[in-house]
Amino acid sequence: MSIDGICGFGLNFTADGFRIAYGTLCLLAFLASFLFAPRYLSHDGHKKRFYIFSAVVLIATLGVFFAADLFTLLIFFEMMSLTSYVWVAHEESDGALRAGDTYMAVAVIGGLFLLAGIVLVYSEAGTLEIAKIREAYLLNPSLYPGRKFVAAICLLVGFGAKAGAFPLHVWLPKAHPVAPAPASALLSGVLTKTGIYGILVTGLCLMPGVEAFGLILVIIGLITMVIGALTAIFSVDLKKVLACSSVSQIGFMVTGAGIATLLTKNGTLFPGAISSLSAEPAILGTVLHMANHTLVKLVVFLTAGVVYQNCHELNLNKIKGFGRKKPLLALPFLLGGMSLAGIPGFPGYLSKSILHESLLEGLSEAGLSSGAVALSEWTFLISGGATLCYMAKLFFCLFIEKPVAGAGSSAEATKDYAAVTQKVVLLVPAVSLITAGLFLSVKYFGTLYEFEVLKGGLTSVAIGALLFALIMLTLNRGGEYRDKWPKWLDLEEKIYRPLLLTVLPLTIGLFARIMDRITDRLALLLRKTVFRDAPIKPERVEGTVFTRFVGHGMDVIVAKLKGKSEVEPEYETRLALRAMEQKENNLVTMRSLSYGLMLACLGIFVMLGFILYLVFIK
Amino acid sequence: MASFWMLVVILFPIACGCGILFLPEKNRRLFLGLSAGAVFVTAVAAWVLILNPPSESLTVFKFWDDLVIEFRIDGLSRIFMGLISGLWPLSVIYAFEYMAHEANPGTLKERTFFGVYTLTYGVTLGISMAGNLLTMYVFYEMLTLVTIPLVLFTLTRAAIQATRTYMVFSLGGAAFGFISLIFLMAYGNASDFTLGGILDPAALGGRDNILRFVYIMGFMGFGVKAAVFPLNSWLPKASVAPTPVTALLHAVAVVKSGAFAIIRLTYYCYGADFIKGTFAQYIPMGIALFTIIYGCAMAMKERHFKRRLAYSTTSNLSYVLFAAMILSPLGLKAALSFMIFHGVMKITAFFCAGAFLTKGSRVYVYELNGLYREMPVTTTIFTISALAIMGLPGLPGFAGKWLIAGAAVADGGLMPVIGVGVLIVSSMLTAVYMLQPVTRIYFHENKGGLKEAADPGICMILPLVLLTVAMIIFGLFFTPLTDFIGKVAQGVI
């Protein structure tokens, strides 16, 4: 489908296997959020704004997924980035506005890199249609071989910023906790996936089989998953843990996209990738993990929303034990957490196992040494274990621990802690998760539950259990949750903000200020040197040379006549006064109109005389 | 249309403007009516001329041989005429309400303003229709002189200083332009503007590099009005003038005349091929790129709202110059398209700034907190214009930047590609300095202590609404316009 003429290129849409599947999922996630929101926002002053902008974000997100060309994708991507700012800044508190600034900055920077990448692709390939880019590049062997790579890196930065990949993940842990829960669920569950989708498109359509690009993605993915996992383990804010967990899971997906890039030779992401295993397994694993993460994050963020609408608090130490005796809250959270942690039988296990196997295959095919492969594998497994660890921590805290006296106990007593629709909205995705997991497990039991495959998953689970035991015995000893993550270890606070807000403005500002003045100063310099005003000679006010000379002479004569020895400047003064009077009179005369006319007349007379002389005498 | 109509559309607003200035008439309604009537009639006549351009040129006055004052309408003239003839009537309507705030209604001061404002329209039309460099130069100088009273308008110390800077820079720049004019007379073989240049290779006799050096002088000379670094400091200072002046003249008419003159000089006098690939291309392009970043950086630092917009204009004008200096038909197309789009976007933003200033006394960016509650219509329009200037897809700024980036990448040279990077960085900075007021308007709380504000009346809202509609139409359906400009750039029209 296409709408011609809009923005020059027209908007083009297409629908195929992946797009329909993810579009539907996205629609359902938004629906769930919309159903959840009324109770959550019942005391909120900006309800209308929230709904209007959420609807726009929905349209924009669907536009991104269904876009047939990169231009359409860019238009909807920008629309999505800017409108979702309203979610982050929703509360209008200082923290929300600050997080909003971060979000906006990352979105804008990412959007511009995207634009740069798209311009480069268009200039080289001559088309922006996603399905044709690969062929177009094959048909016109590039004159500038580096450019395709630069374009891919630009696209990666753009999409990676939205996905939350290292080092542009900083907005996620800031933005999710301050946004309203229905919005955080969508930010984390759906919006970040547009970034992953874009990275997949970049890898598969632009750079299929390019080792360097694939490895960059894998490295970024591994770093992202470790950073996310570590911060999630240490955080004591419910939504922040979930946000960091998102970062970590995004790392898995980016890694998957990297392996898919490494292994793919023919880039057939879209048709039928979901329905069969015939597509490249790495792609399948990534897409499955995306879908799994969308559903899980929907469930757990909305659970956090239920907690917040009752306790108005997200700190684990204050809300602990909130979920006791609330099975309808505990069950969805448990199912979601288990799926995210990769317990066998859940979709999370399937996706992580596929990714794990592909990782080994991809890296060894890329010719990496066995040490590097093992390092990557263990990073992958430990991060997977960490997922189990922090999800178990949350579950333990919310549903098993005894509430502290005070706020928690009253919360526990609340009977009407959530609306019926909210409970349904929590339960449906959670149940569909386990159903899908079991269905897929049965269908692919032969391949995905072999001992070799199962071993990886179980190792990860075992690591997770150990980690959990470790942090509960050390960090969170005695039922108190401590945030020991060093505060100074913050990319945004330590590097980005100082760089963008202090260093750059200072240097540019200083430079600009100097440059700003330079022309003025030059003009001033010229004015003071070459073009300065002629100096005004100091004048003697009294009289002229003539009056002084004559007057003084007369005074001397008078003194001689009177026989006085002393000369009194009587005539000199009088003459000087006369001269000044005369001068003033002259001035008045010369300024007057009649004087001008007289002079004009005189001129005319002279002219007349001259003409008469010419005519009659000569 | 007969060619004498060209002279009529130039002289009619000049005559009416002089009439407003010198007639001993005290009635405010009468001179407002006269001013609006003159501008509207001229605009209609100008549009008729744009749509049916006379084929032959009109020689008004002959100094000597080739040295003539001559008017002719070609494709480029039609584009520039269209831009100013579309915006001038809107600005006059806006000024009706605005000036009642700025000067006591009916005073000599207000009369001077409307007189000169009307007069300037004729002079600017003269620049657009000039058929040769001499004619353009004459009208260009006239534009400097007639706009002095407008900058000086408030008669404050700041205004006097701004005027002085403006005069020194403009007249000094014109001297450099004059040098270029003389050399072109000496080495050109025709006096009329011709796409591809008028230089006579036989007359040059190996003095190519001197001519290129003189071209750079001309670029800088005419660049004063286009606010290229380092001759830009008059523009932010001049934002002391009343908003109709800063909006129309310092975002569109005067500054775009500078860009227009540079395009005339580059493509129609020296010729793109003569300059392309030499230092005469790289130095001006480097200056333009520097100005882009410099303008953005200064705008980011600036807290005075109108001055911030003025710095933004500095930066955006250099987009036009950068695109023009790519020296290809695509580059020219991008430059002219961005010129038009920027005109529409920036005048809207300035009009909004004027409304904030008069209807709420909001001068600085930090005073805009929570303004959307009090001025919902104006702030919405401002948001749209800010997003457009930022380059949000679906609005004209994006279309312009897309064309520029496309032209630069298609050229493939090192410097244009660096230019794309500069464009990206500058877009980022633009986002910072334009979104800052927007977020303040919507998400920050008004802590009190500010005057009450309200949306302005119909005379100010109507132009704003029309401009917004124009912006959205340009943003969504820019292809017919850019196709027309593309044909002009290739010399088909």
**pLDDT tens-digit series, residues A331-362:** 888 888 888 888 888 888 888 888 888 888 88
Query: Of residues A375 and A141, which shows the higher confidence score?
Result: A375
Model confidence at A278, pLDDT cuts 50, 70, 90, reads very low
Query: Comparing C-alpha atoms, which of A186, A116, A183 is closest to residue A156?
Result: A116
pLDDT digits (tens, 9 = 90+) for B462-486: 999 999 999 999 888 888 888 899 9
Collapsing DSSP to helix, strand or coil, B60 comes out as strand
Model confidence at B113, pLDDT cuts 50, 70, 90, reads confident
The Cα–Cα gap between A111 and A155 comes to 9
Q: For residue A456, what is the enclosing H or E element?
A: helix A451-473
HSE-CB at A574 with a 13 A cutoff on CA atoms is 8
Query: Of residues B314 and A284, which shows the higher confidence score?
Result: B314
Q: Say whether A7 and B478 touch across the interface (CB within 8 A).
A: yes
Query: Comparing C-alpha atoms, which of B318, B432, B277 is closest to residue B365?
Result: B432
Model pLDDT, residue B85: 92
Collapsing DSSP to helix, strand or coil, A533 comes out as coil
Q: For residue A554, what is the enclosing H or E element?
A: helix A545-562
Model confidence at A5, pLDDT cuts 50, 70, 90, reads low
Partner A contacted by B338 (CB < 8 A):
no
Residue A272, pLDDT > 60, answer no
Domain assignment of residue B383, given as a range: 276-493
For residue B140, being part of any structural domain is answered with no
Query: Are the C-beta atoms of residues A147 and A7 closer than 8 Å to each other?
Result: no
**A116 → closest Cβ in B387, B394, B424:** B424
Residues B42-67, mean pLDDT to the nearest whole number: 85
Which of B328, B430, B432 to probe the A interface (max A CBs under 10 A)?
A: B432
Cβ contacts of A8 within 8 Å, gap of 6 or more: B399, B402, B478, B479, B482
**A112 → closest Cβ in B410, B428, B476:** B428
Model confidence at B492, pLDDT cuts 50, 70, 90, reads confident
Q: For residue B356, what is the enclosing H or E element?
A: helix B329-360
For residue B87, being part of any structural domain is answered with no
Greatest Cα-to-Cα distance within chain A, rounded to the nearest angstrom:
146
Model pLDDT, residue B388: 92
Structure tokens at A365: 């095919």
Q: For residue B75, what is the enclosing H or E element?
A: helix B75-102
Partner A contacted by B376 (CB < 8 A):
no
Model pLDDT, residue B190: 63
The Cα–Cα gap between A72 and A12 comes to 6
**A7 → closest Cβ in B233, B399, B443:** B399
pLDDT digits (tens, 9 = 90+) for B266-304: 999 888 888 888 898 999 999 999 999 889 888 888 888
Residues A495-506, mean pLDDT to the nearest whole number: 76
Contacts of A82 in chain B (CB under 8 A): 387, 392
**B231 → closest Cβ in A109, A508, A519:** A519
Q: Say whether B409 and A119 touch across the interface (CB within 8 A).
A: yes
Model pLDDT, residue A274: 39
pLDDT digits (tens, 9 = 90+) for A44-103: 778 888 888 888 889 899 888 888 888 888 888 888 888 888 888 888 888 888 888 888
Model confidence at B80, pLDDT cuts 50, 70, 90, reads very high
Query: Are the C-beta atoms of residues A79 and B393 closer than 8 Å to each other?
Result: yes
Helix axes of B329-360 and B479-490: crossing angle, nearest 10 degrees: 130
Structure tokens at B83: 């831009």
Residue A420: what residue type? Answer: V
For residue B131, being part of any structural domain is answered with no
Which of A12, A70, A115, A140 to probe the B interface (max B CBs under 10 A)?
A: A115
For residue B285, being part of any structural domain is answered with yes
For residue B391, being part of any structural domain is answered with yes
Q: How far apart are the CA of A114 and the nearest CA of chain B, in angstroms?
A: 10
Cβ contacts of A410 within 8 Å, gap of 6 or more: none
Query: Are the C-beta atoms of residues B88 and B248 closer than 8 Å to each other?
Result: yes
The Cα–Cα gap between A90 and A290 comes to 26
Q: How far apart are the CA of B169 and the nearest CA of chain A, in angstroms?
A: 9
From chain B residues 142-201, the ones with a CB under 8 A of any chain A CB are 165, 168-169
Q: Say whether B387 and A115 touch across the interface (CB within 8 A).
A: no
Model pLDDT, residue B367: 86
The Cα–Cα gap between A147 and A143 comes to 9
**B230 → closest Cβ in A116, A144, A518:** A518
Model confidence at A606, pLDDT cuts 50, 70, 90, reads very high
Residue B45: what residue type? Answer: A
Model confidence at B325, pLDDT cuts 50, 70, 90, reads very high
Model pLDDT, residue A581: 87
pLDDT digits (tens, 9 = 90+) for A503-546: 877 787 787 777 777 777 887 888 788 777 777 766 555 677 88
Residue B418, pLDDT > 60, answer yes
**A123 → closest Cβ in B410, B476, B482:** B410
Residue A238, pLDDT > 60, answer yes
Torsion of CA A515, A521, A526, A531, to 10 degrees: 140
Q: For residue B409, what is the enclosing H or E element?
A: helix B396-411
B249 DSSP 8-state letter:
I
- C-alpha A367: how far from chain center: 35
For residue B291, being part of any structural domain is answered with yes
Partner A contacted by B392 (CB < 8 A):
yes
Cβ contacts of B465 within 8 Å, gap of 6 or more: B381
Residue B316, pLDDT > 90, answer yes
Is A34 exposed, middle or buried, given 0-12, 13-18 or 19+ CB atoms closer than 10 A? Answer: middle
Q: For residue A2, what is the enclosing H or E element?
A: strand A2-3
Residue A379, pLDDT > 70, answer yes
Model pLDDT, residue B310: 92
Highest mean pLDDT among A376-380, B90-94, B444-448: B90-94
Model pLDDT, residue A164: 85
For residue B178, being part of any structural domain is answered with no
Model pLDDT, residue A478: 67
- Residue of chain A nearest B397, judged by CA positions: A7
For residue B293, being part of any structural domain is answered with yes
Q: Say whether B479 and A518 touch across the interface (CB within 8 A).
A: no
Highest mean pLDDT among A373-382, B78-87, B239-248: B78-87
The Cα–Cα gap between A77 and A111 comes to 8
Count of domains for chain B:
1
- Residue of chain A nearest B233, judged by CA positions: A516
Cβ contacts of A579 within 8 Å, gap of 6 or more: A543, A544, A546, A547
- Residue of chain A nearest B403, judged by CA positions: A119
Average pLDDT, chain B: 87
Model pLDDT, residue A277: 43
The Cα–Cα gap between A206 and A199 comes to 10
Model confidence at A275, pLDDT cuts 50, 70, 90, reads very low
Model confidence at B318, pLDDT cuts 50, 70, 90, reads very high
